[in-house]
Amino acid sequence: MREDIRQYLEVKDQYPEAIVLVQSPDQRFYEAFFDGARPLIKHLEMIGTRMKSGAKELGRVRVAGFSVQSLHKYLDRLPQQGEVVIAEGKGAISVHPHQLPALVVEELPLPKSVG
């Protein structure tokens, strides 16, 4: 099995409800696999694809990801979908808590009094 997929499964076991991203072996991308790719596809409008897992029993698995340089752009939006856990290639893990979208409060004019 590919090391990045193995790492993804290990981190997902520890954080089953989180959006888990792992750094690719070449350290150029953050990727999510299996059903974990869906939030990236749905909320970040990324294109999902499939790749060889390196494990015969898994075959080809769903994957979506983005470049390491783009992390700051997506960390503004992903935590609104749930907790985000990022696993670096060296085993370091960072957790970004779920953040509810900011409420926009609009002041409405007071109704004019009748009479």
pLDDT tens-digit profile of 8-59?
999 999 999 999 999 999 999 999 999 999 999 999 999 999 999 999 999 9
- Specify the pairing of strand 19-23 against strand 84-87: parallel
Q: What per-residue confidence (pLDDT) applies to 17? A: 95
Report how far residue 68's alpha carbon sits from residue 72's, in angstroms, rounded to the nearest whole number.
Answer: 9
Give the pLDDT band (50/70/90) at residue 4.
very high
Residue ranges of the alpha helices (H) in 1-115? 3-14, 38-43, 71-75
pTM: 0.83
Q: Is residue 60 pLDDT above 80, yes or no? A: yes
Q: What are 62's two structure tokens?
A: 């769903």
Mean pLDDT is lowest, of 23-27, 85-89, 101-105, for 101-105
Report how far residue 62's alpha carbon sits from residue 35's, in angstroms, rounded to the nearest whole number.
Answer: 7
3-class DSSP assignment, residue 91: coil
